[in-house]
C-alpha cells in the first residue's frame, strides 16, 4: 500500500487500476471532444504525457520488475514474447530479475531521437521483453512490409521494403502482433512529437527520418501511417493489449488512447480526419462496451462503425450519435453539456500552436481568441496554452455565455507564472462574484491545477480570467455543474474524486505512482 500524506491531514486508501468502464473513459477523454486531425493529435499529445517512467533495466521498480505485471500471461509465469515462438518464464515471485535470453526492446528505436535517455527511452508503452536474437535482427530498422526477407522466422521478417518510394531495410512483425506495434507507434509519434528525429538511413540501415517527419502533424510519414492503419484495422485490439494499457497506466499515470479508442487513429491520420472526434459516441475497449467486438472496418468516408452520422453513433442507438441531444454538447462539439456528466465548458487551447510555455525563447504571437473565448485583452500564444499579460500590462480572457441555469458551478484551470509569480489570478462567473487564486508554479515548472466553487451564479454566465499583475500561463479551463455530474470540490466532501497530476492530467482511480497529485483540490504526496 502506498502512503498518502495529505497536507490537510486526511488519509486516503489506494485502489489499484484495473479494468476501466466506458463512462470513466469518456469523462477522461473529454479534452478530445470536437477536435480533428492535427488539433486532435496535439490534444492527445498533452493527455498522453507520463507522470513518471520506471528506471531502465532490472531491479525493484525498474523495467523488468514492471514487465512481470505488464507482460505476463494471466495465471502463469510465462512472459509474453512478441518477437519469436520461443517461450520464456519469469522466476517465481517478482524480484525484478531479467529473464535469461531476453532483452528490453525499444519497439520505436531509441536511435531515432539520437539515443537521449529521456522519458521516451524508459516509457513502458514503447518497451517490450524480446528474445535476444530477434531483437538484434530487428536492429533499428523501420517497421514495414518486407518484400525480400533474408532473415525469416515464424514471428519476424527482416529484409528490404518500400518506404514511400525508397527501398530500405525493414522489420515486419507477425500478423498476431502487428496491430499492437502499430498502436505503440501511434502513441510514440504522438506522445513524443516534440522530439527531433534523426537518421536518413540507407539500404542497409534504419533511420527515423524514413518513418517520421519533424513536425506535430502528421509526424509519421504518409507511407508509414497508411500501412500502420491497415495493419491496425486487420489486427484488432486484444485483451492482452487492454490489460497492458491498464497495467502501464497504474505505473505511469498515462494511457495509450489509441488502445482505449481503437478508431482514434482514423481521426488523426485515416478516413475520418474531417470528422470531429466525440469520445461519448466513439468505439472503446472499455470493459462494459461490447460494440468493438462486432466492429468490422468498411473503409467508408464516414466515422468508422457509424450509421452515416456525423459523430460516430452506431445503428443500435446505444449511444448518442449525430446531433441528437444525448451527449449534451452543442452542434460544434467544442463544449459538452451536462446531461450525461460532461463539462458545461472546456477549452484545452488545442488551437494554440505557436509560442511555448516553458522558455522565453521565440515569439509569443498575439492570440485573438476562439469560439469559447471570443474576447481577449493582452493574451498571447503559448504552445497549447495561453499567456495572459505582458511585462508591463495585465491580460484577461472573457468567455462566451455558458449555456446553463446557473446556481452552483465549479471551475478548474491550470496555471503557472513567468520567471516568478508576478501576481494572482482573478476568476469570476456572472452573479457568482470573483475568486482570487494564488499559485506557486513558474514557467519551468509543470502547470498547477486550481479549483474553485461559485454559488448564486446567473443563468448563462460569462467566465472571466485575468491577471492582477503582469503575466501568467493558463490552460485546460473547465466548468461543470456539480449537481448534474456528481463531481464536486473538497469543501463539499463528495465523490467521485477529481484527481489530476501536478501537470494537470486527469487520473483515473486512486494513483499508485509516487509523486504529487491534486485530489479534490488538495495537494497529495504519494510515496
Give one DSSP letter per residue of 64-106, joined into a string.
Answer: HHHHHHHSB-TTS-BBP-SS-S---BPPSS---PPPTTEEEEE
Cell 506535430, located at residue:
216
Per-residue pLDDT, 384:
87
Task: Please tell me what DSSP assigns to residue 222.
Answer: H
The candidate with the shortest Cα–Cα distance to 369, out of 334, 418, 411, is: 334
Give 85's pLDDT tier (boundaries 50, 70, 90).
confident
Over residues 408-420, the mean pLDDT reads 91
- Residue 70 clears pLDDT 60, i.e. is over it: yes
Per-residue pLDDT, 104:
94
Q: Name the more confident of 122 and 523.
A: 122
The candidate with the shortest Cα–Cα distance to 403, out of 327, 350, 336, 464, is: 336
- Residue 258 clears pLDDT 90, i.e. is over it: yes
Over residues 91-116, the mean pLDDT reads 90
Angle between helices 175-191 and 222-234 (to 10 degrees): 130
Over residues 406-432, the mean pLDDT reads 92
- Residue 308 clears pLDDT 70, i.e. is over it: no
Task: Please enumerate in sequence order all residues whose Cβ is within 8 A of that of 381, keeping only pairs 6 or more positions apart, or say none.
Answer: 352, 353, 354, 355, 364, 365, 366, 367, 387
Give 201's pLDDT tier (boundaries 50, 70, 90).
low
- Which of these ranges, 108-117, 235-244, 299-308, has the smallest mean pLDDT? 299-308
Over residues 443-456, the mean pLDDT reads 87
Rg from Cα positions in the chain: 23
b/e burial code for range 490-500 (CB count within 10 A of at least 16 → b):
beeeeeebbbb
The candidate with the shortest Cα–Cα distance to 172, out of 162, 88, 474, is: 162
Over residues 258-280, the mean pLDDT reads 93
- Whole-Å CA distances, 128 to 67, 77, 192, 250, 318: 8, 16, 18, 17, 36
Over residues 215-224, the mean pLDDT reads 95
- Most confident by average pLDDT, 10-24, 149-163, 292-306: 149-163
- Residue 161 clears pLDDT 80, i.e. is over it: yes
Mean pLDDT of the chain: 81
- Residue 58 clears pLDDT 90, i.e. is over it: yes
- Residue 513 clears pLDDT 80, i.e. is over it: no
Per-residue pLDDT, 290:
87
- DSSP-assigned letters across all residues of 27-50: HHTGGGTT--HHHHHHHHHHHT--
Give 133's pLDDT tier (boundaries 50, 70, 90).
confident
- Whole-Å CA distances, 186 to 211, 232, 269, 295, 490: 12, 10, 10, 20, 37
138-148 tens-digit pLDDT: 888 999 999 88
Q: Is 335 in contact with 303 (CB distance < 8 Å)?
A: no
Give me the residues paired with residue 41 across strands.
none
- Which of these ranges, 52-56, 298-302, 335-339, 464-468, has the smallest mean pLDDT? 335-339
Per-residue pLDDT, 165:
87
- Residue 474 clears pLDDT 70, i.e. is over it: yes
- Most confident by average pLDDT, 56-65, 200-209, 487-496: 56-65
Give 10's pLDDT tier (boundaries 50, 70, 90).
very low
Over residues 332-346, the mean pLDDT reads 47
- Which of these ranges, 128-132, 167-171, 251-255, 443-447, has the smallest mean pLDDT? 443-447
- Residue 305 clears pLDDT 90, i.e. is over it: no
Over residues 265-282, the mean pLDDT reads 92
Q: State how far Cα 341 lies from the chain centre.
A: 20
Give 504's pLDDT tier (boundaries 50, 70, 90).
low
Give 171's pLDDT tier (boundaries 50, 70, 90).
very high
Over residues 203-220, the mean pLDDT reads 84
Phi, psi angle pair for 227, to nearest 5°: -65, -45
Per-residue pLDDT, 481:
84
Per-residue pLDDT, 7:
30
Per-residue pLDDT, 321:
31
| E-strand stretches of 111-241 | 127-131, 142-143, 146-152, 156-163, 166-173
Q: Name the more confident of 135 and 189.
A: 189
Per-residue pLDDT, 379:
95
- Residue 204 clears pLDDT 60, i.e. is over it: no
Q: Name the more confident of 523 and 277.
A: 277
CA distance 35 to 28: 15
Over residues 436-454, the mean pLDDT reads 88
Task: Please enumerate in sequence order all residues whose Cβ is within 8 A of that of 64, keeping only pairs 6 or more positions apart, or say none.
Answer: 57, 58, 96, 97, 98, 99, 104, 129
- Whole-Å CA distances, 468 to 67, 313, 376, 377, 464: 49, 45, 15, 13, 13
Over residues 373-386, the mean pLDDT reads 93
* Bond preceding residue 218 cis, omega within 30 of 0: yes
Per-residue pLDDT, 368:
92
Per-residue pLDDT, 522:
58
Give 220's pLDDT tier (boundaries 50, 70, 90).
very high
- Most confident by average pLDDT, 264-273, 477-486, 507-516: 264-273
The whole-model pTM stands at 0.59
Amino acid at each position: 500500500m502506498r502512503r498518502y500524506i495529505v497536507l490537510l491531514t486526511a488519509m486516503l486508501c489506494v485502489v489499484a487500476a484495473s479494468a476501466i468502464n466506458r463512462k470513466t473513459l469518456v469523462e477522461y477523454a473529454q479534452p478530445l471532444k470536437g477536435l480533428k486531425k492535427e488539433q486532435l493529435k496535439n490534444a492527445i499529445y498533452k493527455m498522453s504525457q507520463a507522470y513518471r517512467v520506471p528506471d531502465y533495466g532490472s531491479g525493484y521498480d525498474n523495467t523488468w520488475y514492471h514487465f512481470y505485471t505488464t507482460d505476463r500471461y494471466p495465471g502463469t509465469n510465462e512472459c509474453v514474447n512478441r518477437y519469436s515462438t520461443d517461450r520464456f518464464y519469469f522466476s517465481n515471485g517478482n524480484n525484478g530479475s531479467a529473464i535469461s535470453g531476453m532483452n528490453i526492446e525499444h519497439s520505436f528505436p531509441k536511435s531515432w531521437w539520437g539515443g537521449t535517455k529521456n522519458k521516451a527511452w524508459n516509457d513502458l508503452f514503447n518497451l517490450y521483453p524480446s528474445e535476444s536474437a530477434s531483437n538484434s535482427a530487428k536492429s533499428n530498422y523501420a517497421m514495414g512490409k518486407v518484400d525480400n526477407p533474408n532473415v525469416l522466422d515464424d514471428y519476424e521478417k527482416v529484409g528490404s521494403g518500400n518506404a514511400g518510394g525508397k527501398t530500405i531495410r525493414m522489420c515486419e512483425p507477425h500478423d498476431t502482433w502487428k496491430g499492437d506495434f502499430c498502436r505503440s507507434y501511434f502513441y510514440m509519434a504522438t506522445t513524443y512529437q516534440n522530439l527531433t528525429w534523426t537518421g536518413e538511413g540507407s539500404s542497409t540501415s534504419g533511420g527515423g527520418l524514413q518513418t517520421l517527419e519533424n513536425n506535430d502533424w502528421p509526424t509519421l510519414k504518409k507511407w508509414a501511417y497508411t500501412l500502420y492503419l491497415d495493419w491496425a484495422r486487420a489486427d484488432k485490439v486484444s485483451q492482452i493489449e487492454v490489460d497492458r494499457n491498464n497495467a502501464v497506466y497504474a505505473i505511469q499515470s498515462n494511457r495509450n488512447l489509441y488502445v482505449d479508442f481503437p478508431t482514434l487513429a482514423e481521426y488523426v491520420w485515416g478516413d475520418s480526419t474531417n470528422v470531429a472526434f466525440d469520445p461519448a459516441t466513439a468505439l472503446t475497449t472499455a470493459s462494459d462496451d461490447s460494440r468493438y467486438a462486432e466492429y468490422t472496418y468498411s473503409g467508408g468516408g464516414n466515422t468508422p462503425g457509424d450509421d452515416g452520422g456525423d459523430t460516430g453513433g452506431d445503428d443500435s442507438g446505444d449511444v448518442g450519435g449525430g446531433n441528437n441531444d444525448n451527449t449534451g454538447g452543442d452542434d460544434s462539439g467544442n463544449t459538452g453539456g451536462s446531461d450525461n456528466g460532461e463539462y458545461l465548458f472546456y477549452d484545452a487551447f488545442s488551437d494554440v500552436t505557436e509560442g511555448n510555455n516553458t522558455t522565453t525563447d521565440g515569439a509569443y504571437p498575439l492570440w485573438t481568441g476562439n469560439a469559447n473565448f471570443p474576447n481577449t485583452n493582452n493574451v498571447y500564444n503559448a504552445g497549447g496554452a495561453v499567456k495572459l499579460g505582458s511585462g508591463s500590462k495585465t491580460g484577461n480572457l472573457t468567455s462566451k455565455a455558458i449555456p446553463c441555469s446557473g446556481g452552483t458551478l465549479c471551475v478548474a484551470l491550470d496555471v503557472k507564472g513567468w520567471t516568478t509569480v508576478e501576481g494572482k489570478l482573478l476568476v469570476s462567473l456572472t452573479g457568482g462574484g470573483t475568486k482570487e487564486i494564488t499559485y506557486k508554479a513558474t514557467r519551468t515548472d509543470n502547470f498547477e491545477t486550481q479549483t474553485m466553487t461559485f454559488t448564486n451564479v446567473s443563468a448563462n454566465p460569462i467566465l472571466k480570467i485575468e491577471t492582477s499583475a503582469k503575466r501568467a500561463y493558463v490552460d485546460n479551463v473547465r466548468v461543470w455543474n456539480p449537481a448534474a455530474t456528481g463531481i464536486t470540490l473538497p469543501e463539499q466532501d463528495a465523490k467521485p474524486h477529481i484527481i489530476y497530476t501536478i501537470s494537470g492530467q486527469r487520473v483515473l482511480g486512486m494513483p499508485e505512482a509516487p509523486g504529487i497529485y491534486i485530489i479534490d483540490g488538495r495537494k497529495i504526496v504519494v510515496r
